Amino acid sequence: MKQKTDVLQGTLALMVLKTLDVLGTQHGYGIARRIEQISGDLLAVNQGTLYPVLLKLEQEGAIASEWGASENNRRARFYRLTKEGRKQLQVETKDWEQTAAIIARFFEAKAEDLS
């Protein structure tokens, strides 16, 4: 149970970073919407789980936040990617691609390849 959230949180963090990289400064709702749009129904997580991840990233210094006005003129917290976050995104993207590639090769491998 716990392990699953860990994996999820790890990937969720990467999604948040990528979203902020693409869209620039964004509030929590915006990030949630964007992730939902891209992943469609495949990623049916509660939007609430986003906030602990945002906090963790902020504490690590990957993102920064400040108060601002939202589109309907309410007080909202806006998040943006920091320089450090951009670096982290690059590293993690590479890591992710590598992992994905390895996994993909595993699935493509047939019995005769290994003999």
Partner 1 sequence: MKSLRRFLTRLFNSAARRQQEERLRDEIAEHIALQTDENLRAGLSLVEARRQAMLKFGGVEAMKQDYRAERGLLLIENLLGDLRNAARSISRMPGLAAVIIVSLAIGIGVNTTIFSWIQLILFEPMPAVSGAANFLLVEPRTETGGYPGASWPEYRDLQAQLPALRDVVAFQMVPFNVGESSKVERTHGQLVSGNYFSALGLQPAIGRFIRPEEAERPGTEPVVVISYDYWQTRFRGAPDAVGQKLRVNERDLIVIGVAPRDFQGTMVPLKFELWAPATLAPALLGGTRDLEDRSIRAFSLLGMLRPGATPEEAQAQFSTAMAQLARDYPEAGAGIGGEILTFWKAPRGPQRLLISGLAILQGVMLLLLLAVCGNTANLMLARGSTRQREMAVRVALGATRWRIVSLVLSENMLLALLGAGLGAAIAVWGTTALRVAPMIGAFPIQFQTRVDGLTLAFAMLLGAACGLIFSAAPAVHLARLDPQGGLRSSSNTPPRSRARKVLMGVEVGLAMVVLIAAALYLQSFRSARQADPRFRPEGVLLAAYDLTGRNPDAASEREFAARLLERLRSLPDVEAAAIATNVPLDLHGIPARSFTVQGRVRTEPGQDRAISNTVTPGYFKVMGIPLLEGNDFAGMRDKAAPAQAIVNEEFVRRYLDGADAIGRRLQARGGSFSIVGVARNSVYGAFGEPAQPAIYFSYRDRPQDQGEIHLRTRTGNETALTSEARAVLRDLDPMLPLYDVRTFSQHIERNLFLRRIPARMFAVLGPLLLGLAAIGIYAVVSYAVARRTREIGVRLAFGATSARVVLQIIRENLGAIACGTAIGWVLALVISLRVMAKGPLNLPVFLGVPAILLSVATLACWIPARTASQIDPIAALRHE
Provide the binding-site residues for partner 1, judged by CB under 8 A: 27-29, 32-33, 45-49, 51-52, 55-56, 59-61, 70, 72, 74-77
Nearer to partner 1, 41 or 112 (CB): 41
Are the C-beta atoms of 96 and 14 separated by less than 8 Å?
Answer: yes
Nearer to partner 1, 3 or 115 (CB): 3
For 1, residues 6+ apart whose C-beta sits below 8 A from its C-beta are none
Nearer to partner 1, 24 or 52 (CB): 52
CB of 9 to partner 1, least distance (A): 9
CB of 37 to partner 1, least distance (A): 12
Q: Which amino acid is at 32?
A: A
CA dihedral 63, 65, 70, 74 (to 10 degrees): 150
CB of 99 to partner 1, least distance (A): 20
CB of 90 to partner 1, least distance (A): 15
Nearer to partner 1, 18 or 27 (CB): 27
Are the C-beta atoms of 57 and 17 separated by less than 8 Å?
Answer: yes
